[in-house]
Amino acid sequence: MSTIRFGIIGIGNHGLRYARHLRRGEVEGASLAVVCRRDRARGEAAARELGVSFVDDHRKVLSDPSVDAVAIVVPCNLHPLLVPQALEAGKAVLVEKPLAPDPEGARRIVEASCRHAPIAMVAQTLRFNAVIRLLRERKEAIGPLRFVSLSQRFEPSEREWLDDPEAGGLLRNTGVHSFDLLRYLTGLEVEQATCLASRGPGRRMEDSFGVVLRLSGGVLATVDNARTTASRTGRVELAGEKGQLAGDHVHHWAVEIHGTEIREIDDPPPLPTVRECLAAFTAAVRGEIPVPVPLVEGLRAVEIVEACRRSAETGASRAVETGAGGT
């Protein structure tokens, strides 16, 4: 099959990560054709750096017959508009997480994908982290799972949209990683959430939260995130009947625990998750593998986010309500 030519809609800091991997030839079978940003000055500067064409209207990317696939890297409140348009235009679509700001928007995207049927994938990039994959591969060694704990810490961000009620908040934009990883690591569904959240001075949206979740099969889990510290971590703990697995996907280490003995696991080398996500998506577009993260997986993560948000607002436990898009 010929090279998959990408257009990137949204060429801010994160979109540039996608663009640079493509432009440097690090994704086999893919190339970068055009980038798009509403801010013309910054978009043109990025295009000059990359040596590719620039447009300031996403519709020009979607109408370009030379573009095979688009990566949509914009705030999530724009996804319910852009993703169906891209699918209707016949483009393969890789859309950043979260799939949408709420389940209704995510379901509309899934339904549009079912109607138009191009390849579509949600970029839950942490699934491609080497430590995460190692822990998933080794979980049988600790027996049936009984408890899971995920924790992330981040630096405060000055990106204004992260504090926008329409698109922002820690639950939507980083918690969604953890909720997706719960399903990916365990193979279980999240049924119920009890969440507390807080926001720092001057913030409109939460910048820290803690949640207790009940998974199918009676397994309990905790997830806590904070974007309040000048540091970064990504802890994962899986507790089974025969032992534990623990690791940190930021600092790239993993251990196995039996009794009081802790053994370091020989980790594979770190991998750039955006590059690996792009490579997997490209392989799916080329028909070489099934879509690794179908849009319905993104919908499920958004449904968990919504239950946590409602729990934090009301102070009561909330069931995770799943709707259309289950096939």
Q: Are residues 253 and 279 in the same domain?
A: no
Look-up of token digits 């190339």: 31
What does the pLDDT read at residue 1? 64
**Residue 176 falls inside a structural domain:** yes
- Opening angle at CA 181, ends 175 and 184, nearest 5: 150
Question: 96 and 123 in contact (C-beta within 8 Å)?
Answer: yes
CATH number at residue 157: 3.30.360.10
Q: Are residues 132 and 84 in the same domain?
A: no
Q: Are residues 84 and 133 in the same domain?
A: no
Q: Are residues 311 and 173 in the same domain?
A: yes
Q: Are residues 142 and 90 in the same domain?
A: no
For a pLDDT cut of 90, what percent of the chain falls above it? 92
Rounded Cα distance between 167 and 75, Å, is 6
Q: Give the type of residue at 228.
A: T
**Residue 327 falls inside a structural domain:** no
**Residue 184 falls inside a structural domain:** yes
Q: What is the pLDDT of residues 153-165, one digit of tens each?
A: 999 988 888 899 9
Rounded Cα distance between 308 and 299, Å, is 14
Rounded Cα distance between 46 and 12, Å, is 9
Rounded Cα distance between 164 and 82, Å, is 19
What does the pLDDT read at residue 148? 98
Average the pLDDT over 295-302 and give the result: 98
Q: Write out the residue range of the structural domain in which residue 214 sits.
A: 127-269+303-319
Q: What is the pLDDT of residues 34-86, one digit of tens each?
A: 999 999 999 999 999 999 999 999 999 999 999 999 999 999 999 999 999 99
Average the pLDDT over 170-199 and give the result: 97
Q: Are residues 180 and 314 in the same domain?
A: yes
Q: What is the pLDDT of residues 88-103, one digit of tens each?
A: 999 999 999 999 999 9
Q: How many structural domains does the chain have?
A: 2
Length of the chain: 327
**Residue 326 falls inside a structural domain:** no
Rounded Cα distance between 316 and 327, Å, is 30
Q: Which residues pair with 278 in a beta bridge?
A: none
The pair of three-digit structure tokens given for residue 209, joined into one six-digit string: 């939260």
